[in-house]
């Protein structure tokens, strides 16, 4: 019987959101960090990905639930899940301008 591979996952969670980073699937391309409008993702100083390069870590309380990290990741190394709606008074505005297509 073939065994299913185990992937280590770093889970960042608060009352409203959950972001899971699968270290062994991440090739450290940086797309998630570049595209995050609130800069809640940053390079780890300790955790390494599939090629021995740093992987993203998350300050989950800065997350605005946009899911760009999950959508932009070419290796499906990030998973986002909304646990419940965040109250309006706690929603954070993006720190950098989000460009929209015209």
- For 20-51, the pLDDT digits (tens) are 999 989 999 999 999 999 999 999 999 888 88
Name the class of domain 9-87.
alpha beta
Domain boundaries, the chain: 9-87
Residue with the bigger pLDDT between 19 and 102: it is 19
Q: Any idea of the CA torsion for 61, 26, 71, 84, to the nearest 10 degrees? A: -30
Rounded distance between C-alpha atoms, residue 16 and residue 43, angstroms = 23
| CA within 13 Å, CB half, 10 | 20
The per-residue pLDDT for range 59-73, each reduced to its tens digit, is 999 999 999 999 999
């Amino acid at each position: 019987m073939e065994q299913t591979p185990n992937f280590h996952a770093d889970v960042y969670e608060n009352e409203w959101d959950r972001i899971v980073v699968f270290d062994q699937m991440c090739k450290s391309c940086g797309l998630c960090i570049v595209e995050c409008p609130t800069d809640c993702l940053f390079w780890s100083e300790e955790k390494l990905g599939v090629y021995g390069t740093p992987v993203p870590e998350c300050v989950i309380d800065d997350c605005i639930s946009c899911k760009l990290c999950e959508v932009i990741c070419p290796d499906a190394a990030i998973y986002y899940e909304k646990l419940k709606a965040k109250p309006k008074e706690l929603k954070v505005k993006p720190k950098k301008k989000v460009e929209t297509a015209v």
